[in-house]
Chains A and B, each alone.
Chain A
Amino acid sequence: MKKILIALSTLLALAGCADPREHSHAVYMLIDTSGTYAQESAKAQLIVNYLLGTLQPGDSLAVARVKSRSFSEKDIIAKATFDSRPSQANAQKRAFREAIDNALRQVMPSRYTDITGAMIQGAEYLNEAGAGRKTIIVFSDMQEELDRVTVRDFPISLQNIRIVAVNVVKLGTDNVDPRRYLGRLDDWKKRVEAAGATEWRVINDLERLDTILARS
């Protein structure tokens, strides 16, 4: 009996010493503001609101813009690690929502779309957050366009990160030849899987947002 009690106490002590961040969830959302896609920002706000309503105290959320060159902290619109106390976390969420509303109201369309750079930035943020579950949500048409100077054709690392592409709208050229759209998604899938991502998912129906944070 004594031995069992000692074992239980040790187990509880060890379990109590475990890093609490292992059970938290960190989400990095990229909002494409290039060209005509900038008009979709209202939908982006909807997704941010969903995330704010779903994430728990202790989780982290960051929202960043995808611009011509996006490998920069300056592109992060708002970021927060929610307090472990629910009341404080709710207050943080309200402030976060205000920040996003203000930022999306003044959004200026960019000329190019650096999705790769934004993903690398997102992966850095998520790895620093040290959360147990890491997700990058890409709100974009997934059409990357870079200027001649920007270099992004190298292998990237997205180890242990889920990538969810949301609202991947069809371009005019996609309508002419759907293989372009399917090929674009397939290329991204191969690229993120090669980068070590744990999952690649595309969600175009915004009524099914519950699958954004769900494990496959």
Chain B
Amino acid sequence: MNKAWMVWPENPAVSVLVLAVLAMLFLYAARKPMHGLIQSLGRTAMGPLRLGARWLNGAADRMAYRNRAVLLAHGRQEVETRIEREFERIGALVTRELQGYPTLQRKLLDEITRVEEDYRKCGEVPPPPPDWVEAVTAMSNVKNGNEMVMRVLEEIQRSVNSIHDKALTEYRKAYESRHRILEGFMPFWRSLDKTLGRVDRNIGSLHQSAAAVDAQMEKYEQIVAGNDKAESMLTVSAFTQFAIAALVLVVAAGGAFINFKLIALPMSEMVGAGDYITASLRTSEVAALVIILVEASMGLFLLEALRITHLFPRIANLNDRMRHRILWIALTLLVTLAGVEAALALMRDMLIADKQALLQSLATAPQPAVTDGWVGRIPTAGQMLLGFMLPFALAFIAIPLESLIHSGRTVGGVLATSLVRVAAFVLRLAGNVARHASRVLVNLYDVAIVIPLLVERLVVKVPRRAAAPDVDEAERTHA
């Protein structure tokens, strides 16, 4: 053990004591500058940290303001589009269903008038009995027993019966014809009922559309007013959209992976299996990936040309003729690529079968050949079908992709703002820690020289507060 520091090497305790006293005296003498040094160090650390925290808070406010503006603008645009669509729907409905409504109404009224007239005719009373009925009555009052009268009466009865039968037949015929007329109006009544029902439904649909427009208009007004409710509603909507779009894209990625597996092996027949781009990445795998990405791009252009998505304003702004050309080109390429994939899927099956046959021939014990028949062809057909269908299914990822991109702006903005606020909080916290640490160090320093301080108090009798400025006060001034 090195004893060079000992004042009395034979007595370590006394040496330590002497050195402690000396150190205490030295520290007491350096107390004021040391306090100042510690405090200034604390302030030096605290100042920039607080400044940084304040700047970050300002940046977060600016980001939040910018996010809010973008969010409201985006929401406003979206609601405008929806209202526009609702009005288009209403317009189409009115044009299609209610355009000929006045003519129809007039026709209906005419027909109803005719039916009423006919109905009135149907309700006519039978003609009154002829005048000779009174003569017959007079004859019947003649006394019985007159043979001539009896014969006349019998003749009259026969004539009356004959006339009655004739009149009754004619009357029935007239009623039959009226009933036929009425019967002829039955389909018309049904059609009338159907038409009126359709009109009623259309009116109901119009009513619903009007209610939807009202709801959208209310939303629009809130967005234009820029109130917190609208912002909160749009933010929640963006987060929901982001989550849904991400989920759909994950599912699509699964589909793309299956697609990749289908064509990676047969692609090695086209570009070679021995070429590598990196140690573990074959050229054939990259080629398969490129084909899948090209298919997804074609799907993107197809949906863009159909105006389902709006990721490329240049395509949306093209005239209809050019847009249709792009649509057909994208569709043709997509169908071609789907056909290529189906062929590759078939080739994959053949390659696997060939490899299997080779391995069987290399095996020591000969294995019996398996004859699957048509059942064995099901996987091949399934692979080909998948190879053809998956590109079209992948084409639709443009829709969730657009949703993800649009909602990602809001989600990213909110997360970035939160991150900046957290950073500001951490800086502020670190500043406070530095300030309190300097205080603690000052107090610890005084604890180390407590004996000289006690002596000073006893001897000088000067109040310490008056002698030394308050640390907090000084820091507050500097902060």
If over half of A's interface residues share one DSSP class (helix, strand or loop), that class is named, otherwise mixed; here it is helix
Given A15-B278, A56-B274, A58-B274: A97 and B362 interface contact (C-beta under 8 Å): yes
From B63-71, B156-164, B264-272, B464-472, the one touching the partner chain is B264-272
Shortest beta-carbon distance from A31 to chain B in Å:
17
Measured CA separation A89–B273 after assembly (Å):
10
Measured CA separation A18–B363 after assembly (Å):
36
Shortest beta-carbon distance from B419 to chain A in Å:
22
Cβ A85 vs Cβ B276 within 8 A: no
Measured CA separation A5–B385 after assembly (Å):
36
If over half of B's interface residues share one DSSP class (helix, strand or loop), that class is named, otherwise mixed; here it is helix
Instruction: Mark out the residues of chain A between 30 and 70 whose CB falls within 8 Å of any chain B CB in the assembled complex.
Output: 46, 49-50, 52-53, 56-59
Report B-chain residues with C-beta under 8 Å of the C-beta of A22: 276
Instruction: Mark out the residues of chain A between 156 and 185 whose CB falls within 8 Å of any chain B CB in the assembled complex.
Output: none
Report B-chain residues with C-beta under 8 Å of the C-beta of A52: 358, 362
Residue of A nearest to B277 (CB): A15
Report A-chain residues with C-beta under 8 Å of the C-beta of B272: 20, 57-58, 84-85
Residue of A nearest to B286 (CB): A12
Residue of B nearest to A50 (CB): B362
* Interface residue range, chain A: 20 to 34
The interface bits of chain B over 226-238 (1 if a CB of A lies within 8 angstroms of the residue's CB, else 0) are 0000000000000
- The listed residue (A57, A58, A90) touching B354 by CB distance below 8 A is A90
Measured CA separation A46–B198 after assembly (Å):
82
Report A-chain residues with C-beta under 8 Å of the C-beta of B265: 86
Cβ B274 vs Cβ A24 within 8 A: yes
- The listed residue (B274, B279, B350, B364) touching A57 by CB distance below 8 A is B274
Given A12-B277, A57-B274: A94 and B268 interface contact (C-beta under 8 Å): no
B359 at the interface (CB under 8 A from A): yes
- The listed residue (B269, B277, B362) touching A53 by CB distance below 8 A is B362
Shortest beta-carbon distance from A86 to chain B in Å:
5
Cβ A84 vs Cβ B276 within 8 A: no
Measured CA separation A57–B353 after assembly (Å):
16
Cβ A93 vs Cβ B358 within 8 A: yes
The interface bits of chain A over 7-25 (1 if a CB of B lies within 8 angstroms of the residue's CB, else 0) are 0000010011010101110
Cβ A84 vs Cβ B275 within 8 A: yes
A87 at the interface (CB under 8 A from B): yes
Residue of A nearest to B265 (CB): A86
Report B-chain residues with C-beta under 8 Å of the C-beta of A53: 358-359, 362
Report B-chain residues with C-beta under 8 Å of the C-beta of A24: 274
Shortest beta-carbon distance from A46 to chain B in Å:
6
Cβ B274 vs Cβ A16 within 8 A: no
Report B-chain residues with C-beta under 8 Å of the C-beta of A89: 273
- The listed residue (B274, B354, B362, B363) touching A20 by CB distance below 8 A is B274
Residue of A nearest to B363 (CB): A49
Measured CA separation A87–B364 after assembly (Å):
22
- The listed residue (B276, B355, B362) touching A86 by CB distance below 8 A is B355
Measured CA separation A18–B278 after assembly (Å):
9
Cβ A87 vs Cβ B279 within 8 A: no
Instruction: Mark out the residues of chain B between 348 and 369 whose CB falls within 8 Å of any chain A CB in the assembled complex.
Output: 350-351, 354-355, 358-359, 361-364
Q: Which residues does B use to contact A, with CB under 8 Å?
A: 265, 268-269, 272-279, 283, 350-351, 354-355, 358-359, 361-364
A-B contact pairs, 5 of them (CB 8 A): A53-B359, A86-B269, A86-B273, A90-B354, A97-B361
